[in-house]
Amino acid sequence: MRKGLIVQKYGGSSVANVERIQIVAKRVVAYRKKGYDLVVVVSALGDTTDELIELADKINAHPPEREMDMLLSTGEQISVALLAMAIDKLKFKAISFTGSQVGIITDTRHTRARIVKIGADKIRQALKAGKIVIVAGFQGMTPDQDITTLGRGGSDLTAVALAKELSADECEIYTDVEGIYTTDPRIEPKAKKLEEITYDEMLEMASLGAQVMQARSIEVAKKFDVPIHVRSSFSEKPGTMIIKEAKKMEDVVISGVTLNKNEIKITVCDVPDHPGAAAGIFKELSGGGVNVDMIVQNVSHTRKTDISFTVPRADVSKAKRITRRASSKIGAGEVIVDEDVARISVVGVGMKSHPGVAAKMFDTLAKEKINIEMISTSDISISCIIKKKPAESAVRSLHEKFGLGK
């Protein structure tokens, strides 16, 4: 008798080489032997996606996004085929599919497409035939049959969306750390593994730079209440459950510290202080597809003001070009681009009812002689833009000051 359906996702480092693919195959087969149906989502081998991006850059610095998706989706096609072969070698039945083959239909936003529908008939048929189903993560297809990708880290989204669509009993995300930690364990070895974390906190941590889960996958998990188990593909230990409500002690104020080095800061000087000036800049940027994040505008005493904002590092040249053009259109001054910045943030639902978190954060940075260039807050996080160099040691200091260590 079948025990239930498990969706498992293995990240790039979990399938980085032949030996690791064989280990994954053995783990999958072990679950199969216990009587589970399995849908396995796989990322591209190791750093394949980064390597493909570099390769494209050597050919064309501004490649058409449709062609970028044609290129990047090949990474996952390699890994699903290899995993299916490894499982076959263990004498179990497996079949691999691309995203388009299993009917993952997306919108047409190439390189960051959104899933609009999942057919999944092919998956159901293969499961019925007793096969282990292996699906390429990170990819889908437009209604016009163009291949799309779901944004970096998008295999997490494939797994969560399939778990929802197939009403899976479990959704496991296998990665190279043992779960979600209070901060990146590669930056702070004293980081503590969390038994559980809420969707809201995980979403905030992911959006603020904790790459362990793709932010959009958590949005979908929250929307459809899909519990996620993040754990290591190198050990048998239980990892972290991402769930609606964590049953933790009331006095937990901060759950984690994050670092994001993927943003840069742009300042437009001498912006005329009249209605429509800011709109003149940000409308152009959004028209050009540049996602603006933190925005700070100084109070003006002189009828001119400075506006600073952050944009993704990947968009720096586009953002520079558009901002310069917009600045001259509205009669503003110089545009200064600062690439030497990082964002550090503290995250926790407890801060809603505990004052003093901001003061403690600023005080910790001051003691480290770190200058704060920008500040932004949400209900459950506080972020500061600082220089890149002291950022990792700032993470460790905040981690200690907020009592998160082991």
Q: Give whichever of 68 and 375 is closer to ligand ASP, judged by the CB atom.
A: 68
- DSSP strands (E only) in 60-114: 94-97, 104-106
Q: Give whichever of 32 and 179 is closer to Mg ion, judged by the CB atom.
A: 179
Q: Does residue 239 interact with ligand ASP by CB under 6 A? A: no
In single-letter form, the type of residue at position 349 comes to V
Q: Does residue 99 interact with ligand ASP by CB under 6 A? A: no
Q: Does residue 75 interact with Mg ion by CB under 5 A? A: no
Q: Does residue 204 interact with ligand ADP by CB under 6 A? A: no
Part in contact with ligand ASP (CB under 6 A); list of ranges 103-111, 146-154, 280-288, 317-325: 146-154
Residue 50 Cβ vs ligand ASP, minimum distance, rounded to whole Å: 7
How far is the C-alpha of 406 from the C-alpha of 403, rounded, in Å? Answer: 9
Question: Which of 254, 259, 291 has the alpha carbon at shortest distance from 384?
Answer: 259
Q: Which of 5, 11, 200, 254 binds ligand ADP (CB under 6 A)?
A: 11
Residue 79 Cβ vs ligand ASP, minimum distance, rounded to whole Å: 9
Q: Does residue 153 interact with Mg ion by CB under 5 A? A: yes
Q: Which of 75, 137, 239, 256 binds ligand ADP (CB under 6 A)?
A: 256
- Residue 390: Cβ-neighbour burial (10 angstroms; 0-12, 13-18, 19+): middle
| Torsional sign, CA 211, 215, 217, 218 | positive
Q: Which of 8, 100, 183, 255 binds ligand ADP (CB under 6 A)?
A: 183
Looking from the CA of 331 toward its CB, the CA atoms found within 13 Å total 7
Q: Which of 99, 137, 209, 348 binds ligand ASP (CB under 6 A)?
A: 137
Residue 6 Cβ vs ligand ADP, minimum distance, rounded to whole Å: 17
Q: Which does 138 bind (CB under 5 to 8 A by kind): ligand ADP, ligand ASP, Mg ion, none?
A: ligand ASP
Q: Give whichever of 153 and 348 is closer to Mg ion, judged by the CB atom.
A: 153
- Non-local CB neighbours of 169 within 8 Å, separated by 6+ positions: 4, 5, 6
The answer to whether residues 42 and 7 touch, using CB atoms and an 8 Å cutoff, is no
Distance from the Cα of residue 148 to its chain's centroid: 17
Q: What's the count of helices (H) and strands (E) in the chain, helices before strands?
A: 11, 20
The answer to whether residues 140 and 148 touch, using CB atoms and an 8 Å cutoff, is yes
Q: Does residue 174 interact with ligand ASP by CB under 6 A? A: no
C-alpha angle 212/342/348, rounded to 5°? 55
Q: Does residue 43 interact with ligand ASP by CB under 6 A? A: yes
Q: Does residue 201 interact with ligand ADP by CB under 6 A? A: no
Name the helix (H) or strand (E) containing 312: strand 304-312
Q: Does residue 364 interact with ligand ADP by CB under 6 A? A: no
Burial track 270-285 (b if 16+ CB lie within 10 A, e otherwise): bbeeeeebbebbbebb
DSSP helix/strand/coil, 88: helix
Q: Give whichever of 50 and 363 is closer to ligand ASP, judged by the CB atom.
A: 50
Residues that bind ligand ASP (CB under 6 A): 11-12, 43-44, 49, 75, 137-138, 152-156
Residues that bind ligand ADP (CB under 6 A): 11-14, 43, 153, 175-177, 180-181, 183-186, 210-212, 256
